């Protein structure tokens, strides 16, 4: 008499656990596939809304409907910029802070700090502008906007008559960010300052 193959014996002995694990894997695959498909549809819808939105109200609808999407991040920056253009400084700062709250690791996050600083400076509050710029460089020292934040800080310091601090900031840009595009602007800025 021929004995049944090993796999047949193994299957007969462990049939229920094998079927249970197989059903679990198939079910899990459908769930993960469904979630990924739903997220993709959501992303596409959010991007479509962003591409057709032309006003603060339309961007706000997108932010409310898809609050954690990449399109929402872009919409928040557009809202803050539009508010700033209308000289709605506090509303713009609030929107920039909302962006930072929900998207602190976004590549453009430093732009929010710079936007807050620009709003504060435009509304006549240079000290708060300086604070926002210092925070930008402290939180995002390797971001593309760090040398820009330092340059803006130097310009405010120059305007406030703090030439020594402005020179120190310009020197920091030259030493820490020598390859940045801001370095050429720094050379021009340093020429304006008395040594």
In the predicted model, residues of the chain with pLDDT beneath 50 are: none
Please report the pLDDT score of residue 15 as a whole number.
83
Both 190 and 112 in one domain: the answer is yes
Of the three residues 99, 128, 145, the one that is the final residue of a domain is 99
Q: pTM of the entire structure? A: 0.78
Both 91 and 13 in one domain: the answer is yes
CA–CA separation, 195 and 78 (whole Å)? 40
Give the structural domain span for 176.
Answer: 107-195
pLDDT tens digits, one per residue of 148-162: 999 999 999 999 999
Please report the pLDDT score of residue 109 as a whole number.
95
Total domains present in the chain: 2
Please report the pLDDT score of residue 140 as a whole number.
95
Nearest to 153 by CA among 182, 181, 191: 182
Please report the pLDDT score of residue 2 as a whole number.
57
Please report the pLDDT score of residue 117 as a whole number.
97
Both 132 and 173 in one domain: the answer is yes
CA–CA separation, 73 and 56 (whole Å)? 13
* Mean pLDDT rounded to a whole number for the chain: 89
Q: What is the DSSP letter of 92?
A: H
Both 87 and 111 in one domain: the answer is no
């Amino acid at each position: 008499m021929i004995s049944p193959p090993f796999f047949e014996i193994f299957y007969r002995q462990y049939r229920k656990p094998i079927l249970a694990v197989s059903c679990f894997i198939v079910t899990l695959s459908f769930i993960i596939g469904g979630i990924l498909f739903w997220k993709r549809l959501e992303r596409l819808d959010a991007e479509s809304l962003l591409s057709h939105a032309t006003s603060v109200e339309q961007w706000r609808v997108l932010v409310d409907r898809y609050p954690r999407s990449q399109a929402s991040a872009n919409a928040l920056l557009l809202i803050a910029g539009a508010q700033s253009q209308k000289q709605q400084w506090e509303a713009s700062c609030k929107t920039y802070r909302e962006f930072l709250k929900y998207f602190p690791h976004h590549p453009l996050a430093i732009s929010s700090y710079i936007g807050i600083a620009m709003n504060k400076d435009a509304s006549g509050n240079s000290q708060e502008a300086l604070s926002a710029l210092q925070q930008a460089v402290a939180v995002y020292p390797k971001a593309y906007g760090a040398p820009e934040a330092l340059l803006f800080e130097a310009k405010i310091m120059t305007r406030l008559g703090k030439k020594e601090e402005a020179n120190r900031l310009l020197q920091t840009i030259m030493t820490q960010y020598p390859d940045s595009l801001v370095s050429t602007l720094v050379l021009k800025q340093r020429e304006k300052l008395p040594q």
